[in-house]
Chains A and B, each alone.
Chain A
């Protein structure tokens, strides 16, 4: 390697690890680009930022390619200026590269399928992410999520007790809804036909999807189980480019399936989770498996087509369109099955154009939703998707990806499209026609009343946020659910009110002027008068979560990301109150 200038330790490590990451496919993509520019208009970043060539896929690829050329390609080694080959020397240059590979590309692969040469930018962009991650150069959110997945086994830092508690809560809700105490969410049951794995987002923000899936399995009389550990099918290794993390997470899941001797691993609707578990995990983890894997979309479609469940599409009476997740469609070929299922469970389906492998990214892919520093850029680039959604004339967009749900919700709100986002599991559950249950001979005891199950009546909640709009919004939501709300617009005020009012729960914003939410949280936990009050963090800065967990005090009981909708807030607050009630 040329020793022209002094190189930083991190830059040196990146170069040393570069060669180890190279395989024939990546090298082919690095040498074959002819700079024809055919990829340019295929990228949503380019389309939303006209006139800025730094968003062009070939330009972004060249920021990685130039390093490759300087160190591995003969022309670049001898005549670097001739092919614009350039090495990296400083940490600042690595930061610039980080901005490109994390902040200007969602690895959606749309440029790949539009490249005449077959250059796979998404693959070597991921490789570059992995190189940067290996030296600690990455967005804060990527670091936080990766850490959670390494340490806690899931990417949202869900604790085992919270997970189990959520499953039990959903089981109770299902039993009440179906009026059948035998409706179960089995955990760690051996020798099942179906092992159902989920996205931790479902536990944290959307437990309804777990209940809906359980209802469908119940209706299909499936022999199924969930696992107490190894249940997270998402894999941040795909986004961070860290193959070690990717392999470790995937193998953890595969081994649990083997331990329970399940015949089939069913992966809930999640684009990157499906791709990581079904298509990449075995390669990263270098592991062969003796069970089959499929998306829950296929499972549900089979149930409907085989008559195992009965459907009344009339129950879903809105206008629906379908958004193809990049990972699900463009990287795993899953186009037709979701459409087939959707057309069976709704009456009015409108196609989105372009679609299938040519669909535009939701703009939240590639881990973009966890990188808050690029939010403005992401939302600007989302204009392309917003226009595409609007043109469908639908009022509900369906997608088989949790990441897309968040990305789409965010852009729908930003561009004021007034659309809903939902998943197939919700629509199938909604359309289910359940057979009348035969009354059991013994009437089971009534389930124990769950506080707050019918609203938040009688609960005193202290809401803390410095944004007046959000404070009003959340207060209104809670008051509508019959809670007694006390408002605090600063940390100091919150501390005072917490002590004097002794609320049943405190919601806390993390980034507030003056005393930050993190300080307030620690003070609450250290004060004997407030330490037992459950706290639910509500913040638009997910990267600050790490700071909360790093404090030497017990973690918060709940966590909600902004933007949050009414359902998210109420569900999470009810969950926290219920957990607190059971603990007491």
Chain B
């Protein structure tokens, strides 16, 4: 019933609009205004051009100033500050061009609206002017590119030797991390070794794998270079941490990397943003399927000493999954048991039993 009423209402509105249209058309024909080169509508459009310029300039300024805090992301990495710097330089330079060209466009449209008594200026070209406004943008753009290029080469340069290596693995629809453990060496992997528990395809014929661990929550230190070694298991994903200005695709079959230095711990960011629930997250920015929008993991930035303490507490993966000792070659078994801390575990248990 409501559907019917709405339907009738819509039809009525359409009929009314159509009638108005017919009447206005007839009036125009009677006036003969449709025969003129520029009718009264011409003036109205000219004023609308000016009006649009003014109103949108006000809205733009108001929102950009008033909501500045809302739409900017606090920055928490060393290279992020540089990225922001060239972002805002570009914003100012292009902003000036934007404002000037838009004003000229709408002002010219308004000011040079049709008048019967005037003739347009025959002005087909001016080589000097054209050369000038080819060269000036070229110079300005070169400067922008050059400053961007310097930042880019710094960001993509090889990571420092002492960087904390962490492997980030993306899969539908979550992130997981693997840390190198006490030996500071991530073990080899092979995607054919992946199974329900061994999500990374850790290769236990490599002795570096024995002490690797994977925490539930990803921790990184503040003020120390961190190198993300990024992998994907199934489709493309992209590691994205807005506060660090960090983004790097995760590609199946082709590990990628990104290194950075975090400058604010989670606690500091909570203070800065005034949000006690603030947390860093790794998001996914490459469409990866149904759960793409919810693919994220929490990331905690600790002070260096807290991070070290946290790291020391972590249990090697092999320790929690001793079944995988079976995959370790015979000659390495002893090393594996020690590296994974399985011997201590046994001792502890033995002590408890005693």
Chain A bound to chain B: no
Q: Could you tell me which B residues sit within 8 Å of A by CB distance? A: none
